[in-house]
Amino acid sequence: MAASTMRILLLGSGGREHALAWKIAQSPRVSALHCVPGNPGIAAHAHLERGNILNPPEMADLAERLRADLTMVGPEAPLVAGVVDEFQARGQPAGWRHGLRIVGPSRAAARLEGSKIFAKQFMARHGIPTAEFAVCESVPEARIHLQKLGFPVVIKADGLAAGKGVVVASDVRETEATLHAMLDGKLVGDAGRRVVLERFLPGEEVTFTVLADGRNALALPPTQDHKRVFDGDRGPNTGGMGAYSDDAILPGELRQRVMREIVQPTLAGMEAEGAPFRGVLYVGLMLMPEGPRVLEYNVRFGDPETQPLMMRLASDLVPLLEATTDGTLGSARAEWTAGATACVVAASAGYPGDFERDKAIEGVSDADRLDAVKVFHAGTRRRDSGLVTAGGRVLGVTAAGADLPEALARAYEGIRRVRFEGMHYRTDIGKKGLSRKAHE
């Protein structure tokens, strides 16, 4: 018996959401895909809707009007604002097959990303391996803890800061300048009024993503993000300048250890605290000689990690999203292509600081025509004159290959065909993966 078709609503407007829309639209299960607010790239796959994704009642009203069978939340802010709670409070209208099903954690569970302080204290309560830390609300208080934590030290804003709320300070002067800027609200606004000081962990960072239904988890392939703006991991943190997916990032035995020592205790801990985690759980890891340590939790797909992940996913995404909401992930399976995928982000001049908009973009169609290459829109808009820039991260040129060198070569061939005034990108995405491959 054929599965019934579905109407799906997607919330968001970035590269992550374009990748999700691209993949969801391929599903034979989907009869209609809507996205609010979307972007010009997403418009090729979905009907764009107007609305404020940070207004939970408005989003629930939209889902009801569209009779959406499933809503997928892209970014973290709507989750922290309680959009899932609003959908669940609406119940199931009479005669509606699915009701307001939504993929994502409740407001209480979203605190794993919404508050760095909550996340670190949660890890401490449940014995989840992470770096030593202290919570601070003033510079004098921080000075006391710095004597123990030493330098370099990691300073994290408590609240959401669009990937820009983490600073690695090398000495007392830089630390105190950063603390003043955060605590005074100058650096990331109210998100930095309280901070976490964390012992710096040297090692290699890895992103480990799972779908979770409250108790069961389905692991996705590992990815590696590149957060610093310049080659060689120099410059300030960004939302992400590129990412790649390659099984060699995290061997199978180590993945099992992460599931056993980190993911399952996280799900058990959230359930024990009355906030079962359902949705996408992103665990930022640091690989240490003594084992993996948690750097951070995110409660949604990463951006730009989603772009290479969706390009690697060989099976239908929609049944996996359904299983996440329905509590049936224990029997769900996903198929992934062999080889590797890579995404290189084209950014506006000045990003992650102030940047100009409305720069004409050329060459996207040329890049899209290359074999195994897809250009995902992040910060773009359509003008009468054509496609123009509208954000700091503008495009994510993503490619697949039989191995990592081939995937990266295709991604860079694609990004060299794209042009806009002030465009910059990192030229060393995947360098650690290439080095790892050379030593195999």
Nearest residue to 224 via CA among 237, 247, 241, 206: 206
Q: How far apart (Å, rounded) are the C-alpha atoms in residues 370 and 368?
A: 6
The hierarchical CATH code for the domain 132-199 is 3.30.1490.20
Q: Which two tokens stand for residue 100?
A: 């307001």
Nearest residue to 208 via CA among 223, 194, 195: 223
Q: How far apart (Å, rounded) are the C-alpha atoms in residues 46 and 48?
A: 6
Residue 95 has pLDDT above 70, yes or no: no
Domain 7-103 class?
alpha beta
Mean pLDDT, range 326-337, rounded to an integer: 95
Q: How far is CA 60 from CA 102, 193, 219, in A?
A: 10, 31, 29
Residues 6 or more apart from 121 whose CB is under 8 A from it? 135
What percent of the chain clears pLDDT 90, i.e. is strictly above it? 87
Residue 440: per-residue pLDDT: 57
Mean pLDDT, range 95-110, rounded to an integer: 84
Sheet holding 70-73, edge to edge: 47-48, 30-37, 6-12, 70-73, 102-103
Using one digit for the tens of pLDDT, what is the confidence trace for 235-278?
Answer: 988 999 999 999 999 999 999 999 999 999 999 999 999 999 99
Q: What kind of fold does domain 204-438 have according to CATH?
A: D-amino Acid Aminotransferase; Chain A, domain 1 (3.30.470)
The model's pTM? 0.95
Using one digit for the tens of pLDDT, what is the confidence trace for 427-438?
Answer: 999 999 998 765
Residue 2: CB atoms within 10 A of its CB come to: 6
Q: How far apart (Å, rounded) are the C-alpha atoms in residues 238 and 392?
A: 9
Q: For the purposes of burial, counting CB atoms within 10 Å of the CB of 4, is it exposed (0-12), middle (13-18) or buried (19 or more)?
A: exposed
First CA to last CA across the chain, in angstroms? 47
Mean pLDDT, range 183-211, rounded to an integer: 92
Using one digit for the tens of pLDDT, what is the confidence trace for 6-20?
Answer: 999 999 999 999 999
Residue 2: per-residue pLDDT: 46
DSSP 429: T
Domain positions in the chain are 7-103, 132-199, 204-438
